[in-house]
Structure formats: structure tokens, C-alpha cells
């Protein structure tokens, strides 16, 4: 069986509430825009995307996760400002930033990437930017670009702190209603 999977850190409900607030602010700023919003219940911080894996690769991925989680300690994180990839002028992905102990987060990401590369699942380390996805822009009228850019600069959102205490191996199934996520395994951090 082939599964589409990724590795992530879960977020608590109070972070999901900030995601909802951010989405409302952006949606109010550009009400007619074609943006596919991330379901807040699906919010997570992606560390590595593995794509399609078979059962043997999945078993190897679990081993890598077990090794990395046994070495890593919990990570203190906090929500920050909103932004867009590749930039607010040309938004494709809208996100909520993450700050806190980013050195530990980057180190964990690096260990995961190294372990995954050893089993043939190479990751692009240079592109890891910790964030929580709010939505994906499908189409945006030029008048809405300026409104969205201004809304992204809004500093009204509360900063919510949390401690990431485990890794999750998550399966993503694509449906016409959007991606459906299912946690396959959890790996506690020390």
C-alpha cells in the first residue's frame, strides 16, 4: 500500500484559535478572493514532507522518527505575525509565523532530514521555514492584493506559547473537499 505522508508537530487548541482569528481577518480584508483556507483542526507545523511511501519505506521512516525523537527535547514555540510565500506582493501560501526555540527546531529538522536522506528520502534543508499554513491563494484580483498585503501586516493577533512534546507521522489523503489527515504514529520528545 502506498501512502502520502509527512512529519509534523501538533499544535494545541489555543493555537488553532489564533489560526481561526487570522483567517477571519484575512477573509474580511479580501472577502471575494479565491483562497482555499486550511481547516484549523488540521493545523500543524510540517517538519518534513515525504510524499508517497510504501510499507517498507514507512517502516524505515518510523525507525528514523524513533531515533530522532529519543535524542530531541521538547521545544518551546510561540505564534507570531502573518506572512505569505513567496512574498506578500505575490502571495501563494498565507501563513502564521512561529518563533521561540528555533535553534532546537532547526536542529530537529536537520536530524530528521539527515536520517531520511540515509533511507533515500532526501529533504531540501535550505527551504525549511517554520510556519502554520492559513490558506492557499488560487486567484487574487489586483485590488485585493493591496488589501491582503495590508491585512498581513496587522499586529492584532495574540501571541500564543506552547510546548511541542512529540513528533507525528501523518498520512494525507487528498479528497475533493481537501486533504484529510490521519496520525499514523506519535513519537515523544524527551
Write out the chain's pLDDT in tens, 190 residues.
999 999 999 999 999 999 999 999 999 999 877 899 999 999 999 999 999 999 999 999 999 999 999 999 999 999 999 999 999 999 999 999 999 999 999 999 999 999 999 999 988 766 789 999 999 998 888 888 899 999 998 778 999 999 999 999 999 998 887 789 999 999 999 9
- Grid cell listed for 5: 505522508
**Using a CB cutoff of 8 Å and minimum separation of 24, what contacts does 35-38 make?**
35/94, 35/135, 35/136, 35/137, 35/138, 35/140, 36/135, 36/136, 36/138, 36/178, 37/134, 37/135, 38/133, 38/134, 38/135, 38/136
Where in the sequence is the domain holding 149, given as residue range(s)? Answer: 3-188
Domains in the chain: how many in total?
A: 1
- Grid cell listed for 177: 473537499
Output the DSSP codes for 29-94: HSTTSEEEEPPGGG-EEEEEEEEEE-HHHHHHHHHHHHHHHHH---EEEEEEEEEEEEETTEEEEE
Report if pTM > 0.75. Answer: yes
- CATH number of the CATH domain containing 142: 3.90.1140.10
Angle at 147 between CA 146 and CA 152, to 5 degrees: 95
Amino acid at each position: 500500500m502506498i501512502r502520502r505522508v509527512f512529519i509534523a508537530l501538533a499544535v494545541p487548541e489555543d493555537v488553532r484559535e489564533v489560526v481561526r482569528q487570522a483567517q477571519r481577518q484575512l477573509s474580511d480584508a479580501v472577502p471575494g478572493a479565491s483562497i482555499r483556507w486550511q481547516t484549523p483542526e488540521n493545523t500543524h507545523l510540517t517538519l518534513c514532507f515525504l510524499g508517497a511511501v510504501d510499507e517498507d519505506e514507512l517502516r524505515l521512516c518510523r525507525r528514523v522518527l524513533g531515533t530522532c525523537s529519543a535524542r530531541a527535547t521538547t521545544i518551546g514555540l510561540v505564534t507570531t505575525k502573518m506572512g505569505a510565500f513567496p512574498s506578500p506582493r505575490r502571495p501563494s501560501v498565507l501563513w502564521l509565523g512561529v518563533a521561540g526555540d528555533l535553534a532546537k527546531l532547526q536542529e530537529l529538522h536537520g536530524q530528521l532530514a539527515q536520517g531520511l536522506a540515509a533511507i533515500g528520502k532526501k529533504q531540501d534543508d535550505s527551504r525549511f521555514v517554520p510556519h502554520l499554513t492559513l490558506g492557499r491563494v488560487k486567484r487574487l484580483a489586483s485590488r485585493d492584493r493591496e488589501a491582503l498585503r495590508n491585512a498581513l501586516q496587522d499586529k492584532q493577533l495574540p501571541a500564543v506559547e506552547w510546548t511541542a512534546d512529540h513528533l507525528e507521522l501523518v498520512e494525507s489523503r487528498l479528497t475533493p473537499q481537501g486533504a484529510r489527515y490521519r496520525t499514523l504514529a506519535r513519537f515523544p520528545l524527551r
